């Protein structure tokens, strides 16, 4: 059987890792597929990268991505450029040319996946995107296939390694956010502009994909509630530890009777939970199915060869499916396209969770009574309360609440901040038991 010829767009960290893994493990991959897979055409601005990586000198290299997309010899186009454009245009052009596509581009899938999948279905080709979420962890395959017999009740994921590294360092070494962020940038974990990582945008891209796979709903990145970790202080991390919790930047999706929760924010979770002990740049996704119960997927969320592992797995899947009819293939978003349901994504004010509050107040009599009355008036019950001195005149009141509707908490915080004795903004972190 003739080999499957692959065209690679981008030879950066992931692209280089993918080419190296395909070449190094060529014999093993061929045994799994039943035919060989070869990189035949590469588009890269740095043509010297081919020699630098020790790739086969017979590989054709070009600086024009369109040359690869329009190459009639290429069966599968691997898009590893990243970003929205020109990635979107190149992927759509490849599909129009009848080529299968593999991508690691979470932003592209989250924002334009609906259009891309519709075009792929029209043309009878596959778009595979395992590496778009959680790097080397095969979470997409698990959701689409391994858990296909389950109703997914909820999922929670540490799906951005940069944010997890920062929170781990803050907890283990008592360091400030800005200090650890600077180190993350020096180590190459965070970009010069770290907004996508620390403000949750990267995680929101990934969560919108997981939510669609879990619940058979359209991709709706724009409806994902997104909150970053830049306001988390070393004191919050220490307080959480004293209460038996750890702070993680989680993406959470949950089915409720009223709609789908789809949210990214700092979250306090019990330290005994396995996912609470995922540290550094590692990723993990916890999925609760009605039949299987809780399942945890853990591994490297980034890096050249970990991500290449997922890209190559997609290439293998596509190569195996080349001879199958489009209607018999695994659907792009796990559910048949005609069965995608437009279930409402809940506004963050409608979700229900427990809360950690840190409130700086003037140390004077009656203030605690005023605060507890405001919470009670808004239907908020207190689980734990403690006080820590800030200076001679101020104290921090730390409150852990029972589960309450977020809208009620918003009203309570507004009222708390209007108290004369309260100094500055009330800090809050949502608390999830994940059980």
Domain of 255, CATH number, reads 3.30.360.10
pLDDT tops 90 at residue 18: yes
Q: What is the mean pLDDT of residues 414-432?
A: 96
Give yes or no: residues 293 and 151 share one domain.
Answer: yes
Residue 406 lies in a domain: yes
Judge contact between 237 and 252, C-beta under 8 A.
Answer: no
Residues 144 and 280 occupy one common structural domain: yes
Statement to judge: residues 189 and 274 lie in one domain: yes
Q: Per residue in 301-341, pLDDT tens?
A: 988 999 999 999 999 999 999 877 776 677 887 788 888 89
Where a domain ends, among 339, 361, 388?
339
For residue 229, tell me if it sits in a domain: yes
Same domain, 176 and 215: yes
pLDDT range class, residue 406, cuts 50, 70, 90: very high
Whether 179 and 291 share a structural domain = yes
Same domain flag for 230 and 310: no
> 310 and 289 in one domain?
no
Same domain? 165 vs 236: yes
Residues 183 and 53 in one domain: no
Q: Can you give the pTM of this predicted structure?
A: 0.94
**260 and 152 belong to one structural domain:** yes
Query: Is 345 inside a domain boundary?
Result: no
What are residue 317's phi and psi, to 5 degrees? -60, -45
Q: How big is the CA angle at 389 (ends 383 and 391), to the nearest 5 degrees?
A: 150
In Å, how far are 173, 267, 384, 390, 397 from 416, measured between CA atoms?
32, 22, 18, 19, 12
> Kind and range of the H or E element at 301?
none
Residue 396 pLDDT level (bands cut at 50, 70, 90): very high
CATH of the domain at 86: 3.40.50.720
User: Does a structural domain hold residue 344?
Assistant: no
Residues in the chain, total:
435
What CA–CA distance (Å, rounded) separates 75 from 354? 51
Confidence band (pLDDT; 50, 70, 90) for 392? confident
Peptide linkage before 93 cis (omega within 30 of 0): no
* Averaged pLDDT of the chain: 95
- pLDDT in the model for residue 151: 97
Residue 328, pLDDT score = 67
Residues with catalytic roles:
206
How many domains does the chain contain in total? 3
Domain span at residue 416 reads 351-431
Asked if residue 67 is part of any domain, the answer here is yes
Q: Do residues 118 and 204 both lie within one domain?
A: no
Residue 314 and residue 272 share a domain: no
């Amino acid at each position: 059987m003739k080999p499957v010829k692959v065209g690679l767009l981008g030879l950066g960290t992931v692209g280089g890792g993918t080419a190296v893994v395909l070449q190094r493990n060529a014999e093993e991959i061929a045994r799994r597929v039943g035919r060989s897979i070869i990189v035949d055409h590469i588009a890269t601005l740095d043509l010297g990268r081919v020699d630098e990586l020790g790739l086969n000198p017979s590989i054709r290299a070009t600086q024009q991505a369109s040359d690869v997309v329009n190459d009639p010899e290429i069966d599968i186009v691997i898009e590893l450029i990243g970003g929205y454009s020109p990635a979107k245009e190149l992927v759509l052009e490849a599909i129009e040319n009848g080529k299968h596509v593999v991508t690691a581009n979470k932003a592209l899938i989250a924002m334009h996946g609906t259009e891309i999948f519709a075009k792929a279905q029209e043309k009878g080709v596959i778009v595979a995107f395992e590496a778009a979420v959680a790097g080397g962890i095969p979470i997409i395959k698990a959701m689409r296939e391994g858990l296909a017999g389950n109703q997914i009740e909820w999922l929670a994921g540490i799906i951005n390694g940069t944010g997890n590294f920062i929170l781990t360092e803050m907890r283990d070494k008592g360091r400030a956010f800005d200090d650890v962020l600077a180190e993350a940038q020096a180590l190459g974990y965070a970009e010069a502009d770290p907004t996508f990582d620390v403000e949750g945008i990267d995680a929101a891209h990934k969560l919108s994909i997981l939510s669609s796979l879990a619940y058979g709903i359209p991709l709706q990145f724009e409806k994902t509630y997104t909150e970053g970790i830049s306001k988390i202080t070393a004191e919050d991390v220490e307080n959480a530890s004293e209460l038996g919790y750890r702070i993680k930047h989680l993406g959470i999706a949950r089915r409720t009777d009223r709609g789908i929760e789809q949210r990214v924010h700092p979250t306090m979770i019990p330290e005994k939970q396995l996912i609470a002990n995922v540290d550094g740049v590692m990723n993990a996704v916890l999925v609760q199915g009605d039949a299987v119960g809780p399942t945890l997927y853990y591994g490297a969320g980034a890096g050249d060869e970990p991500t290449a592992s997922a890209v190559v797995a997609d290439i293998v899947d596509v190569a195996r499916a080349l001879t199958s009819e489009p209607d018999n293939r695994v659907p792009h978003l796990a559910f048949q396209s005609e069965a995608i349901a437009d279930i409402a994504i809940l506004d963050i004010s409608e979700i229900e969770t427990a809360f950690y509050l840190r409130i700086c107040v003037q140390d004077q009599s009656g203030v605690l009574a005023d605060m507890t009355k405001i919470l009670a008036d808004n239907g908020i019950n207190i689980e734990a309360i403690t006080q820590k001195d800030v200076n001679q005149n101020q104290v921090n009141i730390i409150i852990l609440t029972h589960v309450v509707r977020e809208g009620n908490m918003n009203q309570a915080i507004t009222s708390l901040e209007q108290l004369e004795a309260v100094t500055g903004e009330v800090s809050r972190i949502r608390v999830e038991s994940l059980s």
